[in-house]
Structure 1
Amino acid sequence: MLTVSSLGGLAWFVLSLYFGKGASDHEESPVWDETLTEGEHPAPMWWFWTILAALVFSVIYLMLYPGLGSSAGLLEWSQGHDIERSQARYEEHFAGRRSAVLDASFPALHADEQAMASARRVFREHCAACHGRDAEGQASVFPNLTDAIWQWGGETAQIEQSIVAGRVAVMPGWADAVGDTGVDQITAHVQSMAGIGAANAQGAELFLMYCAACHGPEGKGNALLGAPDLTDRVWHYGSGSAELRHSIGVGRQGEMPAFGERLDAVQVRLLVAWLTRANP
């Protein structure tokens, strides 16, 4: 209704301006400063024809395409249908190649340079913002994906699960339970398990009491819980004493978002293949 009213009002205004009563009548203009007068020439006719052509085009467009309320237009075009047709053409053109990727083994995909190039593009578009362009991690927050250390397990099925469903990791803070001294003692013990510094007996006792349930009595971690191995010197948030104290005393929270609704099965498989080859 608003569109039709606007077009009608514009048409009435233009027609009345050029052809209405008094359109050709001109009153005598006052004169200022002996020679200065008010202009009285009407707008040129080519303006009229331009506006009229635009109005006609608008009416034809609204008849053919959506624009008048719920009307789909004579062509019944919609962006959704256009996307569906494009998707259908894509599926028809690449169906064979996509099936080949889904059926191929991971070693075969590792050896397929074209597939790996496609996987690299998928990674850089969806994953590089956090993990870096070369998957080496960044900011002591996002993990390095080029080594053999995977917090939630490095098997292909586990990596696929991380990509599709995401992960949520929670490391509780223990400062309220053990105090600042206890945090220092656990920090020393964790460092000693990785071969850094001397052993700390009090820290070992506190570790067994508060930390072993997730990380294991020897600190080897548990991929099912997302509890990392503490003996490999690869600490997610940094290996310095201050970073470890913060992790133990205050805790950490990390989340890997789920990409199951953003990536299809082929893209996920390509990513898993790219991340599990020798040097992604």
Structure 2
Amino acid sequence: MSRTVYVNGDYMPEEEAKVSVFDRGFLMADGVYEVTSVLGGKLIDFDGHSKRLARSLTELEMTNPHSDAEWLAIHREVVARNGIDEGMVYLQVTRGNPGDRDFAYPPADTAPTVVLFTQAKPGLADSPAAKTGWRVISVPDIRWHRRDIKTVQLLYPSMAKMAAKKAGVDDAWLVEDGFVTEGTSNNAYIVKGNKIITRALSSDILHGITRAAVLRFAKEAQMEVEERNFTIDEAQKADEAFITSASAFVMPVVEIDGAAVGTGAVGRVATRMREIYLDEMRKAAV
């Protein structure tokens, strides 16, 4: 069954959706994106995603084409038109089509290209992987150094995910100067005792919306949070490890580069943080 997608103000069947070959998103990866999860037909942490979208656009000197209220209305409409109960809404904004290829930015009044589409993911919240945990490998982090901007430059994360797939595991953690930066499309954490450890925010990692919520809930649950760098060796010797993202929520990691983390089974902290996150996000969903 064809999805209804949103392109530049119009809702249409996906087969009819078109973007110019001269669009800078296509030619230059000159664009940003967000992915918002849907549970029970409602949007999860929409306000956080809206704020990060605005920040990404500002960092790239792009005008935000819609107000928060307009973005919310568009998201709700694509969810409704596609009957999404559990899944995701993907949003992309590019610098648009200036009419020809050029490295220089086009005039500021060039209309951006705005695309939204949905992905149905039944059982998203009850993923079997949350009970067994992920296995990951480490790969060098050779991306550009503005990872805090959620751009559509996703080739290297795709390559890292393929390396993980070829290794027969679930994902990869990226390592730079001896320290873990993040996962391919998620933030990375380790647990020692009652302490959650994760890399501090900077231009080296994406400022995860799920990350912010989980750390807030952890502190409210009287857990200690330490934001600092950590190594693969330290992660392998930790009691637990996990990742967070808008699509995986809180996902335990039970093996890193072939070495079991803790007991090699899903740990108490990751399980509890996933439960708290899903419970609180469902209450606040819009």
| Higher Rg of the two aligned structures | 1
What TM bracket, shorter-length normalisation? under 0.3
TM-score in terms of structure 1 length: 0.21
Q: Higher helix fraction: Structure 1 or Structure 2? A: 1
Q: Higher strand fraction: Structure 1 or Structure 2? A: 2
TM-score in terms of structure 2 length: 0.21
